[in-house]
Amino acid sequence: MKLLALETSTECLSVALLNEDNVSFKEELTPQKHAELILPLIDALLKENSITKDDLDGIVLGVGPGSFTGVRIAASTAQGLALGLNLKVALVTSLKAIALESFEHRSAQYVVSSIDARMGEVYLAVYKNKNGILSLLDEERVLKPEDALLKIKELTSDSVDVIFGGSGVEVLKNSGLNKDFEKFSDFPGAQYLLKEGLLKFTTGEVVDPENALPLYVRNEVTWKKVNEQK
């Protein structure tokens, strides 16, 4: 299977390709240039792998949460490609991508993913390791750092076997998280969306292009489906 993954929810723009058993990716730390660079980056990645867009079997979208503008860029790109190529889309959260990368570096009972949400808040998700599979506990949230620390303590039963990843770690440390905790990931990478995306394609947990929508977490933000956009 050939899958293209897109992730633009943070300062890091990344695209990745699953070409049968091979994974390749490109990423650039380019704040505010994602819209300008995402299509050329996709084209370069496909060219390096000697395939075209028509060879793709599906799209994997990093839905966020993260920068509102950033998640819109990935979503609109995924919608446009999938609609034009008649493909389905697998949706994977950016917080899950962080957790998967962190877990790849070191196994633990719990994995905490967090992204700096600005405005004195963090996006937060806590996962539990169940026989090597990371399962989301509770739901993705946006919280004040002090509330996030309480939620982490609640969901992990105050376990010491916890690892952390994401740009929100520094925010949490400034609010009381033990500074000895190592951060295993900075930003969500598209290459870490692919394994989860492949599983969703295998199980049929995919959506049509118009339903490839961002995950904002903040309730007051809305996004129109591709057929509703003017």
- Tell how strand 89-92 and strand 122-130 pair up: unpaired
| Ramachandran angles phi, psi of 115, nearest 5° | -125, 135
What is the model's pTM? 0.92
Token pair in block for residue 32? 């505010």
Confidence of residue 220 (pLDDT cuts 50, 70, 90): very low
In the chain, which ranges are E strands?
A: 2-7, 12-19, 22-29, 58-62, 89-92, 110-116, 122-130, 133-143, 162-165
Token pair in block for residue 4? 């293209």
2-56 pLDDT per residue, tens? 999 999 999 999 999 999 999 999 999 988 899 999 999 999 999 999 999 999 9
Q: How deeply is 163 buried, as exposed, middle or buried, from its count of CB atoms within 10 A (0-12, 13-18, 19+)?
A: buried
Confidence of residue 219 (pLDDT cuts 50, 70, 90): low
